[in-house]
Amino acid sequence: MNNKNTSVNASIALLIVGYKGYQTLKSIPLDLNISFVASYKDSYTLDESNEEIIRYCNENNLNYYDKSSLSNNLLTLPDIVFCIGWQYKIEEPLKNLIVLHDSLLPRYRGFSPTVNALINNETEIGVSAFLPNEYIDSGALYGKSQLTIKHPIKIKKVFDLLADNYLTLINELISQFENNSLTTIEQNEEEATYSIWRDSSDYLINWHWDANKICRFVDALGWPFHGAQSNYNNQSIVIHDVKTVKDISFELRHPGKIWQIKDDSPIVICGSGMLQIELATYVNSEEPIQFKKLKMRLT
């Protein structure tokens, strides 16, 4: 990246999407030289972050652009353009573009890295800054910011915590730019792993999994996402809160069957272990399900 001006504060633009983008925007000091903010509505989540981003920009006199209004000429004006959660390709390569990806690259390149890291029981996660190239998330690294977490933890809480990691990198990179010391290192391809996109079928709980993995699955797909789902009484339900309970020895395990109901909360047999559903709703409903029938199976 070529410095265009090192005598004054570097100007930045923010291409941000979703809850993690909004949380990062709120964490950025307003005395930074923010040229503009751009965003769009993410139809794959439940939150209203796009509206919140617009409101925040209006309240703080920040220039806002919808994605449809962006042009390459506009994008070349700031010294640095930071991308957070941006899922659209910028047609012409820009030397001032820095992507902030929520994984410790080269691991978890691709889609939904934090969701998949939580399901995989990772305890070291974070954000990486890199120069984009033609191949997914493989560009040279400007830096990383690591976060240590402890399970169980909800995805919303993780995104709240990661806002500090985004801000740390943004501050470091602006400082390096202003000091003409911004450098990159190549990623180690031998350590690269990938995270595939998720669709509606990936929200379904597999009751043959270990109970701890199902708990992490529920936590990873909670708000702002649509929630871990299952089928109960021939209807789709969203499971919001679960906890593991003491297992017992079954001669034959039947994952998904309800073993017991305590205070309207069913205890469900898993592939190994058992868990208790503390809160569930039918899809498109906010009313908690009152589980009454014992001889039922979740699929």
Nearest to 113 by CA among 3, 25, 220: 220
Identify the H or E element spanning 274. strand 274-282
CATH (residue range 11-195):
3.40.50.170
Which residue's structure tokens are 């801000």? Answer: 167
Q: What is the pTM of this model?
A: 0.94
Buried b (16+ CB within 10 A) or exposed e, 182-206: beeeebeeeeeeebeeeeeebbebe
Which residues on adjacent β-strands are paired with residue 33? 11
H helix intervals, the chain: 18-27, 49-59, 72-75, 113-119, 155-178, 211-220
Q: Give residue 208's pLDDT.
A: 98
Output DSSP code: residue 185: B
| pLDDT score of 193 | 98
Domain ranges of the chain: 11-195, 202-282
Q: What is the pLDDT along the chain (299 residues), one digit of tens a residue?
A: 644 443 458 999 999 999 999 999 999 999 999 999 999 999 889 999 999 999 999 999 999 999 999 998 999 999 999 999 999 888 777 899 999 999 999 999 999 999 999 999 999 999 999 999 989 999 999 999 999 999 999 999 999 999 999 999 999 999 999 999 999 999 999 999 999 999 999 999 999 999 999 999 999 999 999 999 999 999 999 999 999 999 999 999 999 999 999 988 999 999 999 999 999 999 999 999 999 999 999 99
Top CATH class of 202-282 equals alpha beta
pLDDT, position 1? 61
